[in-house]
Amino acid sequence: MSADLHTLTLAQMHSALQAGDVSSRELVDHSLKRIEATNPDLNAILQVDVEGAQASADAADASRSAGNAGPLTGIPMAHKDIFCTKRLNTTCGSRMLENFAAPYNATVVDRLNEAGMVMVGKANMDEFAMGSSNENSYFGSVGNPWNKEYVPGGSSGGSAAAVAARMVPAATATDTGGSIRQPAAFCGITGIKPTYGRVSRYGMIAFASSLDQGGVVAATAEDCAMMLHAMSGFDERDSTSADVEVPNFAAGLNESIKGLTIGLPEEYFGDGLEAAVGDAVQAGIKELEALGANVKSISLPNQHLCIPAYYVVAPAEASSNLSRFDGVRFGHRCEDPKDLEDLYKRSRGEGFGPEVIRRIMIGTYTLSAGYYDAYYKKAQQIRRLISDDFDKAFESVDVVLGPTTPSPAFKRGAKTDDPVSMYLNDLYTVSANLSGLPGLSMPCGFVNDMPVGMQLVGRAFDESRILAVAHQFQQATDWHQKMPATV
């Protein structure tokens, strides 16, 4: 069994630990060996904590022996390198924070530590979470485990690639405009972005504060449910944290979806969607109908405004958030500055990569005195219309379903010179962020030997429903069980 430990899901690892078939130390050592063997080709993990992981595994085994183990105790995982961790540097994939040692843990990190999970390392990411391909990391791009010449998606591409390659059974991730769901789709795994405010953003380095949300990537909806439960809950240190009850997401996974009404937005199945991707999603819809769900055509009339609204709001907030990285207080500082202006210019110019600079420039422009009303204010008004579209849809449907991305993963370098084409990968995902709604991507097929994802969007704080729909789908299909040849 030891040779195949990495192929177990998080839930299966829990069962094996409970049965005494394996120890946490065995799982963690196997994960570390898996990273050592597969990461050189993929560059998914930036830092590995061998000593800390082994010590945590031994502590988890001691807790289990004492009868104090929970569902996640002793299971290895990785954190996206946007979450502050005291044991390892937090780089955000940027030269700006290359040597940043956080003096505290993010709330998500503390909560998963308290649940007994074992951090084995930090996952690569697009710099400051800006990107749809994980080609924007200062530490090099990430390969897709299904074909390393292809991108894994972004910005949580390192987390998704690490899970798809079975280096770890699950990883934390963040989603500002699709950065959990898009890489989950490209890598053939499951990823959930919860409702805005469900998971604390304390210690999660900000890109766009009104859009960012932490979540999970894992092999299955069941795994996501188990980990999300431990991560969620009110945090007084985060002013955007929602003080709402956290249900046991795993407890409702087996609820029947018979009679559930699924809304299919006509805007998701038109121009821009590759035909083969649409066919895979339609096949997935038929599976859900066979399970007793009802399907209804709906309209989200302002869907075409999602991308332009998002790429005004997100860069504007990024411009504000990243102004703190000035070479004075922390972060990269240029050598031998001539004066304060030179310090600012060269520190930021050297510390930030081209995509981050591009978005800061766009955001600064849209927030400037002469253009604030014309751009940022207008984008926020459009955002309200997009949210209203979902409110109206949920009057007659229980969940909204569509493709996660317009196409499967593309080759590395294929879109680096065309930012607009790259941004259109977020076509179906940004609306959930603009509306603050939970969204989940699950695998539903393949196109040209690369995975395809299907997206579910639910009502605010109704993660339980979309997790249950995904779980029922995964009980009836085996797309989530497919693994890259290298696994």
Residue 80 falls in the annotated catalytic set: yes
* Residue 362: C-alpha distances to residues 27, 57, 319 (Å): 46, 46, 8
Catalytic site residue from 23, 56, 179, 319: 179
Catalytic site residue from 24, 31, 155, 159: 155
**CA–CA separation, 376 vs 477, rounded Å?**
44
Question: Angle 359-215-52 (CA atoms, 0-180°, nearest 5)?
Answer: 100
**CA–CA separation, 401 vs 453, rounded Å?**
11
Q: How would DSSP label each residue in 155-203?
A: SSHHHHHHHHTTSSSEEEEEESSSTTHHHHHHHT-EEEE--TTSB--TT
CB-based contact 443:404 (threshold 8 Å): no
Q: How would DSSP label each residue in 440-477?
A: EEEEEEEETTEEEEEEEE-STT-HHHHHHHHHHHHHH-
In three-state secondary structure terms, 256 is coil
Give φ, ψ of 44 to 5 degrees.
-80, -30
Residue 319 falls in the annotated catalytic set: no
Q: Count Cα neighbours of 361 within 13 Å in the Cβ-side half-sphere.
A: 9
Catalytic site residue from 24, 56, 80, 132: 80
Sign, CA dihedral 205-379-429-395, equals: positive
Residue 320 falls in the annotated catalytic set: no
**CA–CA separation, 392 vs 303, rounded Å?**
13
- Among the residues of 43-117, which ranges form H helices? 50-65, 107-114
CB-based contact 359:348 (threshold 8 Å): no
> Which residues are 199's β-sheet partners?
232
Active-site residue set: 80, 155, 179
